[in-house]
Amino acid sequence: MKIKENYMLRKVADCYVVVPIGAAVAEFNGMINLNEVGAFLWRQLESDTTPEAVVAAVLEEYEVDEAVAKADVDKFVKELQEAGLIA
């Protein structure tokens, strides 16, 4: 599982935004606002990975219960899949 090509994550002030570039502009018209945790998850998904590896990265980076981390990662991935952003 991996974020599709041609999406860029940028920090603007205290927010993170994802914008399509190149061919992705035709597929996705708009931008995505993320908080710090969302940006962390996005970065994990920029390379080919598994949900289990993302959960492990969250547990290493943040003080959170494993069940909460898994639920949050699953929800984030599902939303990206529904938006057509996961390859």
In a domain, 67, yes or no: yes
Its domain, for residue 41, covers 7-82
In a domain, 45, yes or no: yes
Taking 3-state DSSP, the helix, strand and coil percentages for the chain, each rounded to the nearest 5, stand at: 50, 20, 30
Q: Is residue 51 part of a domain?
A: yes
> Tokens in use for 9?
């994550």
Count CB neighbours of 1 within 10 A.
14
The token pair at 19 is: 């914008």
Decide: 18 and 7 in contact? Cβ < 8 Å: yes
What backbone phi and psi angles, to 5 degrees, belong to 3? Answer: -65, 140
Structural domain includes residue 32: yes
Per-residue pLDDT of the chain (87 residues; tens, 9 = 90+): 999 999 999 999 889 999 999 989 888 888 899 999 999 999 999 999 999 999 999 999 999 999 999 999 999 999 999 999 998
